[in-house]
Structure 1
Amino acid sequence: MTVARPRSADEPAERIISLLWLLLHEPRGYAREQIRRLVVGYEGLSDGAFEKLFQRDRRALRAVGVPLTVVGGEDADDDDGPRYRVDRDSLLLQDLDLTLDERRALVRARRLWGDSPLRDEVVRAVGVLLHPGELSGQDELEGYHTVMPRADPRLEALTEAAAEQALVRFAYRDAAGALTERTVRAWLLTLVRGRWYLTGWDVDREAERSFRLSRLESAPVVLEQAPSAAARRAPRRPADLDHAALRARLAGRAEAETVRVWLAPGRGQGFRVAGRPVDPRPADGSAPGEGWELWEAATGRTEDGVVAEAATAAGHVLFPASEPEPARRLAAALTAAAELHAGPADPGCADVRLSAPVRRRVRTSSEDLVGRLLDIVGLANRSEGIDRAELRDRLGVSEADLGRDLEVLRYCGMPEREFPGFQFDVDEADGRVYVHQAAELAGPVRLTLPEAHTLVATLQTVAEMTVLTDADRDAARSAQRRIRASLADAGQDVADDAPAASVGDGASIADEGAVVAHWDVAVDPETVRTLLAAIAERAVLRVQYHGVRTDEVTDRDVEPLAVVQERTRLYLQAWCRRAEGLRVFRADRVGAVQRTGETFRPRARPGRWRLHPEGEGVSALVRWDHAVRDAAEAYRPTAAATLEDGTALTRLTLLDEEAAVALAARHGGRVEVVEPVDLRDAVAARLEGAARRARGAVA
């Protein structure tokens, strides 16, 4: 059968791998002009075009973990000038000999971060270290899934910048709404409360600053050279950077640990499920009305903590006289929300043209393809080959993608014009894949610096998951330490004109690394463990549920299917026998849980984990202030537009009037229901009553 040649889009990958194999072939390396003559794709180019493409290809090799070095220079005895070679001693990934528990921690790390671009780095890192399929069926997190915010390409670029502590420039809109251009020495990426932040040295302000990624108004540009003396002086990440203080500052934690709240009869279920009733004291003052109860609850964070939760109740949750500051903040938030909705909306909003949100497609760059092809060679280049299904699982690709990659690989190897017949020999037999004529790559290429930092960060996330046992969390920390130590010792310095991109190229992984991801999910660990165990054992549960929309308590018999994380919340997706259909329950609203003694037959799971109703409710036009516009993503808008001042307009579906009131109240004057008019009027009336009641409590 005649095999068709891959399409031209794959030719850059062929050229880059040809360059790699050429440099591996000669320990002394090759000079620029030799490379230009031997590698197909460089011939016929002008000097400037060749230099630009050659530099791009070298960076691509570094980006996938290949340690390139330069031998000699302009003053060397070699008449051909500097020679380029691959450092074979630090090319391949070390065997870490991880324990079973440490390997399981890596598989758990592979589950996290949903469709975030950083997940690809973790999938690759884990896949070359072990076969995830070996540990299937032995994991307490088997029923755990994640749904993260839509992939943001800026995150990937900034991860690399932070790993290299590079200078970056971007347009940024601060909390006050001012738009400025910032030049920053990137130190650290931190995931806190479901939001990503870049921390670094602000060159113009000559001070440490943190930037929320959702407020970047342009793609970050890595600066090849420092644009000023101040930029050249910009310090690298301090070894004693206080990560705990940084996390607390970014999370916006309140100083007090608990707060007292008055709850109207049957209302405030979010406080009831997580708090406890307390007896009133003289300092608390009198109850706002008959039947109101005093409860004590955790304060949470400033952006989405106790005041925001109280505001969503629209006057049915108030603070006592003993809590003057939260009471003042609640009254201010509800008053601002009411004033924003007083009168008709700005007619100009209706004239703004909205468009469907951009669904960022994951495009395979030549860099990504080269990395995957080299991983295939490193995993399959052994006498026994590798099982095709295992190869697919390790790479985290579909069967179709793997087939295309293997087809491209057949055209890769030494430069065909000068070394005919020295291309890879890709063979398949009895479900196994073999790669021959690739002796120079006897194992997977080492991890890149961003991959190493991201894997270490993800293991930190696993170590913070309170739903795991202490032994499992310790195993994650142990794997984190061993990987960090091993990777930091790999490789040699790079003597070239491009920044280092791999572990060991003069870079090191600090105790916390360049990426830190915290598991900031506030749930009862025992409840979640019970849910996960029931999923694994197909056990029917009876749960007491404190409703989010209805503000009532119900008992449900459910068949649990999955626990799904979205940002900082966990949800139980289950078949509800009472509703006779699939339902989603917020885990922090689940009260008492017990087994009924029944088991259930597995049901067909949905194609994706849908956590929010789609197509049900009221279509609304909603305006978001720039400071909270990233929250709109959770509502899955069908159309959106961003105005010059950073304000966002979105067309989305709200479940009902209660949901609209709660949304506007939670954000205290930063979210406005523009239309339909009858919904806006209803929201305005409810907010005015709630604000009046909250102000009365303060008085």
Structure 2
Amino acid sequence: MSPASASADKTERLLNLILALKSARRPVSKQKIRESLPAYAQASSDEAFDRMFERDKDELREMGIPITTTVIDVLFDDEVGYRIDGSETTLPAISFEPDEVAALALAARAWSTASISGAASAGLRKLRLSGVEIDESVAAGAEPRIRTKEPAFEAVHAAVSALQPITFGYRKNDGELTTRHVQPWALKNWHGRWYLTGFDVDRGDERAFRLSRFEGAVRRKGRAGSYAVPSDHVPEVALEAQLPEPEGTAVVRVRHGRGHTLRRHAQRTTELDERWAEIEVPYRRGTTERDVVALGTHAVAVSPPELVDGVRSALLAVARAHPGSPRAGATGATGATGATGTPRSEAPA
């Protein structure tokens, strides 16, 4: 039996035991429990059943589910019964503040893939049925999206959840198409792109893969639950290791409370006034431009000239792509100035 199958059987057995003891109106004897629950009825001997039942009781108690033991017949004090008091395991009514409800509604709208949006919608539906009023109009002005347009996302997400090895075609930086055999560990949205981290079986080492470079179908290659994710695995660390070597230092001005991605790599930070700070970060062509552009008017590219030119070009491209949009107009004017030069009215000299 595979580890995943054994774990599923144990979970089902514990749930059945909880339901049986919680729904019983009076204490249930051990023999009755064995006869009623298939998992116990299939025990090879009385000793095997006793060991299984004792382990399950201990595990439920460790989970905070109290099992009470009561003498069934006062004339036979060795005949005991078991029961779970419903009042000890029933959660109190859940209540939410208006801002918490709005956050839940906003989170449910963030996912655009079918598999995850279904779970989010089901969660909101359960809240409504329990009496929580969901006013989604509160978040009408925001349109969050966690984009998962990569065709490989669904299959990779399923493999990560099931701990199942996969194989796929992968296009390297130089354009070469390779076949990879990977034990998926985690999915991470990083700098606006989706990445898979995991163990590359052929290379015998941890690797990170950008989903947009997957080619063809993602195929399962092995049993679910056949490996474990290292307890010390941090996706961000693996992704940082994939970054190219910096080409020098970039100077960027950012508003207070903004630019956390840039600030995390800051080598020096100078507070300019109550609204702006100037930071020095490693300059990686393409990556640094993208981080600054993503901040819009909340960041100012100061140097090197390649960074300033790259940010300006990106913002002007956005403005040209949306010529009739008021928001694009702001990007082409104030936004472009804010990201590539000092705005006269806001950023300090």
Band of TM-score, shorter chain: 0.3 to 0.5
TM-score normalised over the length of structure 2: 0.47
Question: Which one has more relative contact order, counting CA pairs under 8 Å at least 6 apart?
Answer: 1
Q: Which has the higher helix share?
A: 2
